Amino acid sequence: MCIMTMAATLTNGVRALFFALGCMITSTVIYTLVTDGTPFRKELLTPWMAATLVDFYINVLAIGAWVLYKEPRWISALLWLVLLVCLGSIATCAYIFFQLLRLSPQEATEDPIYHVLHRSTTKDAAEQKTCSVIIARCVFGVLSFVMLGTLVYTIVTDGSPFRRELLTPWLSATLIDFYVNIIALAVWVAYKESSWITASLWIVLLICFGSLSTCVYIVVQLFHLSPQDPVHLVLFNSSNRAGNGYKTFER
């Protein structure tokens, strides 16, 4: 009973968190539009704004991969992917909030994060095998080098990002947008890790290094799967994988 109560509290807490975050980023975007105008202006695309956007959209790609797995129909998956690209963390918060609302009372009191991550309906076998573990390792490995190269290049050519003149209203809004997605990824990391020390370390790395840490974390988790495993198992912690008949592949 205590475990069920804790799970229900977790469900309500995460719902409230993403509802509040969604309201905050929506208000931030509207306020910045009203006070600073459209973001589609050439002078706003400074080197560090460009680097922040690369960082931002690599995280969007990671979240989008989950949405692509989660949605049972390609039309709805593509719609959400477009919203993620166009609206950023507003769409992230809305999607997660809706998935939490769709949980049955039993799911909400058992393992809510697992049920949010897991797809309730099964796509056909051809759709399930569109990506292998090895391909996913390569994709996120390459993305980690892309982000590392972007950071190094921008530091070398434009200097430190910690300068007051860089903090324009739209860069501030983009950073808030970026870190709302980081919170979503941090919730996933906290669910994945069995140790709070390890989870805290990875969350600090996410905060400090953004999508570089996201990609490295995903690659590390993919190496815990065998090449024959379905790639979507990377979403789940070891106890959930074991409960579904899969073993963790340790290297």
CB under 8 A, 24+ apart: contacts of 60-66 = 60/84, 60/85, 60/88, 60/181, 61/143, 62/140, 62/185, 62/211, 62/214, 62/215, 62/218, 63/92, 63/181, 63/184, 63/185, 66/117, 66/235
Q: What are the backbone angles phi and psi of residue 163, rounded to the nearest 5°?
A: -130, 135
The backbone torsions φ and ψ at residue 151, rounded to the nearest 5 degrees and listed phi first, read -65, -50
H/E element holding 199? Answer: helix 196-209
Amino acid at 175: L
Q: Which of 184, 62, 192 is nearest to 114 (CA)?
A: 192
Tokens of 134: 């090895």
Give me the residue spans of the domains in the chain.
2-243
Could you read off the pLDDT of 26-39 as tens digits, one per residue? 999 999 999 999 99
Minimal CA–CA distance to 91: which of 103, 102, 79? 79
pLDDT tier at 206 (50, 70, 90 boundaries)? very high
pLDDT for 242 beyond 50: yes
Residue 124's pLDDT is 46
Closest to 169 (Cα-Cα) out of 37, 48, 50:
37
Give the gyration radius of the chain's Cα atoms. Answer: 19
Structure tokens at 216: 């490295």
The stretch 177-200 carries a mean pLDDT of: 96
Convert the pLDDT of each residue in 82-132 to its tens digit: 999 999 999 999 999 999 999 988 888 888 899 999 987 655 444 444 578
Mean pLDDT of 173-185: 97
